[in-house]
Chain A
Amino acid sequence: MADVNYDDVLETPVVDSEAHNLLRRILKEGGYAYVSMSTRAASGDVRAAEAAREMAWEQLHSGPVHSVVPVWRDAYAMACLYVAKCHYVRGEFKEAVRVLDMALIMGATVLRTDLVAAVGKAMERVNAVEESVNGSVNNVKLLMDQTAINLTEVLKILPKKSLSCKLVHKRSALSLEEFTRDHFLCGSPVILTDNMTHWPATTKWNDLNYLQKVAGYRTVPVENFLQVGKNYLCNNWKQEMLTFCEFLQRIQSNSPRVPTYLAQHPLFDQIQELRNDIVIPDYCFVGGTEMKSVNAWFGPAGTVTPLHHDPHHNILAQVVGKKYVRLYPASLSEELYPHTESRLNNTSQVDLDNIDPNEFPRIQDIEFMDCVLEEGEMLYIPPKWWHYVRSLTTSLSVSFCWTASPSSPTS
């Protein structure tokens, strides 16, 4: 372990100016022990910083998400910054990055600029160390090879009747006017092609060395299914924190029994380099937009998102690999047997991979649209349209969700 270097530190200007305010708010919530630890942490006491972090972490995990008092997220982020500062000053750069990632994932927005700056600086040190130890990498390593998929084989694993009825229409270089008139206003799905050529991601993300360099030591939340073909609806589902490098190793390890899925995660708020590789599609600004979220969906072949609908407009951009998507119209409801429990009433009870004809007779006669979404294509899913998604290969996708603002003429 290197000697402590007090000349090179992580600066935290926002914490320095906001700490007083933040601690006052935390005191109001009864966080006396936290405040006492935090004060000691501010002067470099790493044990105190860790204790403060543990306390804030407990507050974040003591109830359902909506019951968490928001100030504890800031408290968690602040404690993480103190812990990261200690790691950094001791030359423990990877540890610092890990702690800062936890804060980026679980913290709120008050201290974001400090976190982003800190993780950037710590990653520079990590990369400098890597470079000096390993030198630069020369051999090209692809995330996935580009062999075409065998449609006959694919149809065997897809739900019955896939790709045999209505395929989603593909349109190339669609103008905003045509998109608005033909799809946005009437709620009609479409595949938009020739819209991603200017994304750096299309060339960079299939390069394992690139992914390792910009994100390898970053920590991300992933889902694990303990049973084949299962999903978040079953009990054998676990969330885990992995480094991006560990995650890439898992999804490449040809272990179809346990798909590990980086799903619905705002990765691009967390990792700036990856944010710079994508471009928010112009179509997302139709409707006087309120951009709701940009999420990463990275995983191996065989990940399944079960049939459900969302209230927002959605564009699913396929960067690497291929996905099968099935769509049922928004007008359908009982025919798709939604769960009655309020938190799941946007999700169908039907497992399309294993339809029980006795339990769910009506779904067999319903018409749907589907497609294989290819690299470079974007699928527009109108609000409330039911969708089921299965990855056919290693797949890196990005989703853009937005709502039309109420004052817009097109809403």
Chain B
Amino acid sequence: MFKKFYVEADKTDIFKLYLSSTFHCLLYCGQGSTDDELSPTCVSSLLGIRVDGVAAGLWHTICISGDGDVYAFGGNQFGQLGTGTDQAETLPRLLDAPSLENEHARVVSCGARHSAVITDGKVFCWGWNKYGQLGLGDVIDRNIPSQVPLDGCVPRVVACGWWHTLLLAESLT
């Protein structure tokens, strides 16, 4: 399994994101190559960006920044990066999907091959969907962030299991 840590510094400081993995892989330490890193290594392309959250799946990593942006890197065979293609990324790629425009990401979670993000009032999922884990009512994979229909409640926390997703929402009534 992946071991991942992130260090939360003083919120006014620049966050540094340290990823470490004891699993050899085509992994995607966001360093711009596919060499393994056996100690925590700074993802330098994200320096200057305050990272509020990070989550990793089998082959991919998603980060969300203080500004509410979403960055993705790693394997992308099932669209789990949300970039709109199936091309892997060895450096963090800012997601610019129209669906996320004007959305401020707050919480992120990853399953084996899918990703989920909560923004202010909405939930978006993308990636592998063979078991309906994207919550979109079908079993078709998505390669861009897709809004999960939610009636009468506000999403608070999302937690992805390996092939499923759990959403904690607060009802509005």
Binding site for B on A (CB under 8 A): 54, 58, 61-64, 67
Contact = CB atoms under 8 A, between A and B. Distances in A.
A62 B24 CA distance: 8
B24 A67 contact: yes
16 contacts: A54-B130, A54-B163, A58-B58, A58-B112, A61-B58, A61-B59, A62-B23, A62-B25, A62-B58, A63-B23, A63-B24, A63-B25, A64-B24, A64-B25, A64-B26, A67-B24
Contacts of B163: 54
Nearest to A341: B35
Nearest to A66: B24
Interface in B147-173: 163
A62 B59 CA distance: 8
B contact patch SS:
loop
Interface of B: 23-26, 58-59, 112, 130, 163
A54 B130 CA distance: 10
B114 to A, nearest CB: 13
Contacts of B26: 64
Given A62-B23, A63-B24, A64-B24, 13 more contacts: A54-B130, A54-B163, A58-B58, A58-B112, A61-B58, A61-B59, A62-B25, A62-B58, A63-B23, A63-B25, A64-B25, A64-B26, A67-B24
A209 to B, nearest CB: 34
A54 B25 CA distance: 18
Contacts of A54: 130, 163
Nearest to A47: B131
Contacts of A61: 58-59
A58 B130 CA distance: 14
B169 to A, nearest CB: 28
Contacts of B25: 62-64
Contacts of A67: 24
Contacts of B130: 54
A54 B59 CA distance: 15
Contacts of B24: 63-64, 67
B56 to A, nearest CB: 13
Contacts of A58: 58, 112
A275 to B, nearest CB: 31
A63 B26 CA distance: 7
Nearest to A67: B24
A63 B25 CA distance: 4
A52 to B, nearest CB: 13
A83 to B, nearest CB: 13
Nearest to B86: A238
